[in-house]
Structure 1
Amino acid sequence: MQIAVPSQHRPPRIAYPPTEVFRFDAATFELGMSRVEAAPEEWVRIYDATRTVVDLMRLRGRLGDDLAYSALQRYLRRHDARPTELLRLASVLAVRGPMQRALDVAMAQ
């Protein structure tokens, strides 16, 4: 399992299942965040697809290039894909250059 916490917060202690913690800047933590009702009256917060693709590009050194690029290609096949929103969010999260290059390659194929 993976969770994200704002960088200045202490992550929760989770004994099981094994959990990987990602720390994101508090100023951008809420970008692309939404709430989903996982069960009646049980709400969870998740990042939308656009934010997820940008985060995978940001974390490609830790999680691997293949994951970032395949997620981008999969995102671009969606009927609601918004490449301009990817670039806008990538700019805010300081990964515009790599995202632009990957997007150029993916869209040329």
Structure 2
Amino acid sequence: MSPPPAIDAIFADNRLHRSADLAAAGLSRMAIKRAADAGRIIQYARGVYVSAEGLATTGISLAATSLLLQGVVCLGSAAQFHGLSDEDPPEIWYAVDRGRNGNMAAPSIRQPHRLVWWPAELLEVGVNTVQIAGVDVRFTSPARTVVDLIRYRGKLGEETAAKALADYVRSGADLNEIWDIAEAIGVKDALTPFLRVAEELAPSIAALR
């Protein structure tokens, strides 16, 4: 029988690793615990570990959430990621499948979370994937993020939605993408007044770039 791989070698990639994957690689629970107790690796969340160096990876909380929940980073967190907000939200906004995870509590991760539950089909519209710490992290696209901020303006505020829409226009992005996504998720009528104003103001907003 070959010896188990060295923990330091496994974690040299600074990626997040699940305990189940470490066990499959031949590492015992005791070996993992000893390494964590010694500070060689960090238990970032229940069943999720990373090297001390990997702990500094930008967006690691988003990666850990995605590893555990397999949903989509959305709303305020997506806006901050895309540069549509100056705010760094104290909680991670994360959308999960309402049908599969309707009773799920937020995972025990270092940064607090705010879960929203969407139908499975809404988790596929206007979503992009970025790899962080070895994890495929799904984000709502800039256009989808603007649509959602307008939809959730009652919770996140009119000012947050207006700023995201203005920043989107100022970036030179296509307003038609917002129209298309709003129609695809069935909120086009509700968003029409906001988007008509954005179209009228687009030339003056774009001039401020």
Q: Give the TM-score of the pair, scaled to structure 1.
A: 0.85
Is 2:98–2:119's contact at 8 Å kept on the other side of the alignment? Answer: yes
Alignment partner, residue 95 of structure 2 = 4
Alignment-mate amino acid for residue 30 of structure 1: E
Counterpart selection for 1:103 from 170, 173, 195: 195
Unmatched tracts of structure 1, length 5 or more: none
- Structural mapping, 1:1-109, within 5 Å: 1-10=92-101, 11=104, 13-15=106-108, 16-39=110-133, 41-79=134-172, 81-109=173-201
Deviates more, 1:90-99 or 1:19-28: 90-99
Is 1:57–1:98's contact at 8 Å kept on the other side of the alignment? Answer: no
SS of 2:139's equivalent in the other structure is strand
Q: Which has the higher helix share?
A: 2
- Pair member with larger Rg: 2
Distance of 2:124 and 2:140 partners within structure 1: 8
Query: Displacement, 1:44?
Result: 1.1
Alignment-mate amino acid for residue 200 of structure 2: A
Alignment-mate amino acid for residue 168 of structure 2: Y
| Number of aligned residues | 107
Unmatched tracts of structure 2, length 5 or more: 1-91, 202-209
Distance of 1:34 and 1:58 partners within structure 2: 20
Q: RMSD of the alignment, in Å?
A: 1.7
